[in-house]
Homo-oligomer: A and B are copies of this chain.
Amino acid sequence: MTELTGFPTRKQLRDLKRREIVRCATVKFGTEGYENVTLEAIATELGVTKAALYNYCSSKNDLLMQCYELGMDLLVDAVETAMAGTGSAAERLAAGLKAYIVTMLRPDMQYLWSYTRPMVTSGDKRSVLDSRDKLDAMFRNVLNAGISDGSLRAELDPKLASLVILGAANWVGIWYREGGGQSPVEIAADVTGEALRGYLV
């Protein structure tokens, strides 16, 4: 989010608009569901016509990809920050997982995540898949580090373990709905504890 000062250049203005479109679409896709949101609706909300949107995306699906990309970036950032601490690998793993879940449960991410992610197929934008791989790699790395520093069980298989752990975490994004008594932070703590139970020494 680079802020502008003075006269924005053409490029800056363009990027600003693009981001505004993506932000608007993210909220609408997230709360109403991809299929129920028309490009007309997005355009109207932004005070332009549908055709104008096509200056910033090549198709509705491409717009969805841009939304997803934004979400993935948030997620990567959150996990990266949480894992940057100086504790044991096990502690960093727990912190990263907790951050992952909490971020995923943000109101504007939640539905986007659970409802939309499945429509991102392997044929899609490379950058999206890159973020996905990056997240996976971050968790595998910290799992490996845990074996090295002795804070996680030595016999675990990082690849399998990351699948199980991320599976459990991603599942939260699917069943969690607001107003269920527990806050995202509480849920994240519970699920993190449960998912890592078999790996802590």
Contacts and interface: CB of A to CB of B under 8 A. Distances in A.
A66 B102 CA distance: 34
| Chain A interface size range | 20 to 34
Given A35-B119, A160-B194, A163-B171, 11 more contacts: A35-B35, A115-B118, A157-B194, A161-B194, A163-B172, A164-B195, A166-B171, A168-B168, A170-B171, A170-B174, A171-B171
Given A114-B118, A197-B198, A198-B198, A167 B161 contact: no
A175 interface: yes
Copies of this protein chain in the complex: 2
Nearest to A153: B197
Interface of A: 33, 35, 114-115, 117-119, 121-122, 157, 160-161, 163-172, 174-175, 177, 190-191, 194-195, 197-199
Nearest to A198: B198
